[in-house]
Every structure is written in C-alpha cells, then in structure tokens.
Amino acid sequence: MQQIKDVNNLRPMSEALRWVSWFTQRQPNPEYLDIVRKALIGSLEELLASALAREWDKIKSNIIVAGDTVDIMQTGLKALKAPGGFKSLADKVSLLQWIGGAKDRVWTFLGLGKGDGYVDGARQEFAGGKLPDKTQYIAYGHTHFARHDCFNGDLSGKVQFYANTGTYLPLIERTLDGKGFWRAHNMTMLFCYRQDEDTKDRVGDGPTVDIWDGIRRKVFKQKADP
C-alpha cells in the first residue's frame, strides 16, 4: 500500500487518474487492486460531494469536450464503478490522455506550463509597496517545482527577483511520450549574501544570490506498512 501513497508526490495533481491507471496495470494481485479501487471510489465520492467541488464546478467552465477537473473526476469515478474497474478506467484515461495532450499544448502555447501560484504572490509583494525599498529578492519553498523568475531590472543592476527552492521530496511527472511516469528527488540550494559578503569583483553593494539546482535519480526501498 505504500506505493499508492506516491500519488501525493505527483505533479501536477490533475494527472492523478492517469497515474493510477498506469500504476494499476503493473499490479497483478487482484486483492490488492480491489482494496485500492474501493479506497479510490470512497475518496472520489466524498470529494465530489463536498461544497468545494460543487462551487468549483460552477465557476470553472468546461473546455471543449474534456471538461474541468470535477468532470474528469466524475468520469473516473464512473469508470471505477463499472464492470472491469481499473480496465474501464484505463480505457477512459486513454481518451483523456489524447484530450489532455491537446490541452497541454494549448497551455504551453499560452506560456502556462509548470507554473506555481506563488509567482503571482511574489509579484504582488513587490508591487504592494510594503517591502523595504531596497528589497531585490523574495524566496519561497515547498512547491515540488523549483524555479526562479526576474520581474524587472534596471541599468544599475538592481532587480526584483523571485526564487522558489521547491522541496526535497520525490517528484513524479508524466514522461514526454505520454505513456508512463518517472520520479526523482529534486533539490535547489539558495545562498543569499549580505552586502559585506561575496565582495570580490562585485559591482555595486549587493546583496548577491547563488542558486544551484539538481535532481537525484535513485529508487529507494519501500518501507513496510506498520
């Protein structure tokens, strides 16, 4: 059961049904699959019955035939309840993969790829007028995806720069061929230097920042369930 918990590290989370379909195709134990299927049905039923799901379905308009997140979860729930269970889900997901691929290309074209909502938060902090005038850097963390963006800069070298260090947790993403998933531990190290540090060959009075990105591809042993 430990492996099914990996879905918590999937990004984006909207890929959950695809990942479950892919994962269950590699699990031969029918008793195990039945436990997972019943757990997923219960979770989806409770989520779709929540006030959040109802309100989200109202405010998020459907996109062509794919529908929004709530519609996709409803489709997945019906598939899991149908004869065949995960086989039915896999068939439904195959269609959703084709539709989702088209949507992914639209998001990429619009520049809405692997973003995170904290970018807008950092932009608003810079524009809100509440930060000290000399503030050049804002750092956040724990978003799975590490990233950095510079909102603006001037000839003096001063910037408004946002960095997100992500988190050292397994990150699971869909492979580029769309047929499977892969995982790695992502980690970013961010070093901030004060005005009296990192002064060698520096132009201006600082501060300065170093950012180092990396991943670790290693499959760790699964811990046994208590």
Model confidence at 225: pLDDT above 70: no
Mean pLDDT of all residues belonging to the chain: 76
DSSP 58-87: HHS---TTT--HHHHHHHHHHHHHSTTTHH
> Sorting pLDDT into bands at 50, 70 and 90, what band is 113?
very low
User: What is the rounded CA–CA span in Å between residue 215 and residue 140?
Assistant: 19
Nearest to 70 by CA among 60, 79, 80: 60
Query: Percent of the chain beyond pLDDT 70?
Result: 78
pTM for this one?
Answer: 0.56
pLDDT range class, residue 126, cuts 50, 70, 90: very high
Domain coordinates of the chain in residue numbers?
Answer: 3-109, 118-216
Q: Return the pLDDT at 210.
A: 92
Q: Tell me which range, 38-47, 50-59, 60-69, 101-110, is most confidently predicted by mean pLDDT.
A: 38-47
pLDDT digits (tens, 9 = 90+) for 13-48: 767 777 877 877 777 777 777 888 888 888 888 988
- The answer, yes or no, to whether residue 105 has pLDDT greater than 50, is no
First-to-last C-alpha distance (Å) of the chain = 11
Q: In this predicted model, what pLDDT tens digit does every residue of 149-205 receive, in sequence order?
A: 899 988 777 899 998 888 777 888 888 887 888 888 887 888 989 889 999 998 878
Nearest to 141 by CA among 165, 173, 113: 165
Query: In whole angstroms, what is the distance from residue 108 CA to residue 123 CA?
Result: 21
